[in-house]
């Protein structure tokens, strides 16, 4: 009996130690060695990668080359979001489909980050030119392209870092340090924009695309005229609007027309045919192409390219 009792005690101790060992190796729900992060747009993707680095597995919801304003998430996208720790989006005006998407998944273990919540949205870029004012003052909703003002981009970085720290508090210093280092790069880029764009002979951006660069124009004291009244890239300007744009080009002696990424520049080409203006791209950075993805392009690189094209088109010294 004594031997049987001792054997039972030994088995009990072994079982207890084994269970304790298993419990230590199991992670709490939602706790991973790296955070799983889904972002809706390319700027958020690039910002989240820079802040999270090796501690975050960041993915972009938009497939390469897909225009974001007409994007509709698939069931596979919903499954990916459901299995993530963080969903980072710009706000209800840029991604109105997020609210509907979240109603279809269990969000108990998901942190949803609206990066526009600390940003003052603008309604549009106000112009003192009567012809331009008609088409740039009144928009159907606030401008959601907040990242194109680099001071707003810094606020987005802060929101992303705060979300990381809330989910992974033991690495707070790591996320804070990465955020501050990236914000310094944005500050340097902002300084370059200010220096360059303060020395331009022409201060009117004619953009043959949807209304996207109001924040940039406001920050650097430029006039911004868009071919479209709103933000939908699949809209078509009326013949009357095209005639008005041609007249504005002539009035301000504009040398270059800007077109946007991911769509055919047929509107820019039409204006160019009437005026002889050269065509240059302004990249809104909503999303990137397969080639840009394969080349590892960054948000900062896209904005550096924009500055070069603005310098050329606005005749800056």
The residue-averaged pLDDT of 143-162 equals 97
Domain at 200-313, CATH class: alpha beta
CATH architecture of 35-126+144-185: 3-Layer(aba) Sandwich (3.40)
* pLDDT above 70: percentage of residues in the chain: 82
Give tens-digit pLDDT for 12-33: 433 333 333 343 333 444 455 8
Tell whether the model's pLDDT for residue 8 goes beyond 80.
Answer: no
CA-angle at 200, arms to 196 and 204, nearest 5° = 115
Domain positions in the chain are 35-126+144-185, 200-313
Give tens-digit pLDDT for 191-233: 999 999 999 999 999 999 889 999 999 999 999 999 986 666 5
pTM: 0.85
Q: Considering the chain, what is the average pLDDT of its residues?
A: 85
Give tens-digit pLDDT for 41-97: 999 999 999 999 999 999 999 999 998 877 888 989 999 999 999 999 999 999 988
Same fold, 35-126+144-185 and 200-313: yes
Tell whether the model's pLDDT for residue 10 goes beyond 50.
Answer: no
């Amino acid at each position: 009996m004594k031997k049987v009792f001792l054997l039972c005690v030994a088995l009990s101790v072994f079982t207890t130690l084994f269970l304790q060992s298993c419990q230590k190796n199991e992670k709490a729900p939602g706790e991973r060695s790296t955070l799983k992060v889904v972002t809706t747009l390319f700027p958020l993707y690039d910002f989240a990668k820079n802040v999270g680095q090796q501690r975050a597995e960041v993915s972009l919801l938009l497939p390469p080359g897909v225009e974001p304003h007409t994007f509709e998430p698939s069931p596979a996208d919903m499954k990916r979001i459901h299995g993530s720790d963080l969903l980072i989006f710009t706000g209800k005006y840029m991604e109105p489909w997020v609210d509907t998407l979240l109603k279809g998944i269990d969000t108990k273990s998901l942190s949803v980050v609206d990066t526009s919540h600390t940003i003052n949205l603008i309604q549009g870029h106000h112009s003192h030119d009567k012809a331009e004012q008609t088409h740039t003052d009144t928009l159907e909703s606030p401008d959601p392209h907040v990242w194109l003002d680099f001071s707003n981009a810094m606020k987005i970085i802060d929101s992303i870092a705060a979300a990381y720290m809330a989910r992974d508090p033991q690495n707070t210093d790591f996320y804070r340090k990465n955020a501050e280092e990236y914000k310094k790069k944005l500050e340097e880029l902002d300084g370059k924009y200010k220096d360059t764009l303060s020395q331009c002979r022409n201060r009117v951006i004619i953009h043959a695309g949807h209304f996207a660069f109001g924040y940039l124009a406001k920050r650097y004291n430029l006039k911004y005229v868009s071919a479209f009244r709103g933000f939908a890239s699949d809209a078509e300007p009326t013949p009357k609007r095209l005639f008005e744009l041609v007249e504005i080009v002539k009035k301000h002696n504009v040398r270059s027309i800007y077109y946007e990424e991911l769509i055919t520049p047929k509107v820019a080409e039409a204006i160019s045919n009437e005026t002889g203006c050269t065509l240059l791209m302004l990249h809104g950075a909503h999303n990137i192409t397969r080639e840009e993805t394969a080349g590892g392009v960054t948000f900062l690189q896209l904005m550096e390219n924009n500055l070069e094209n603005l310098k050329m088109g606005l005749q800056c010294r």
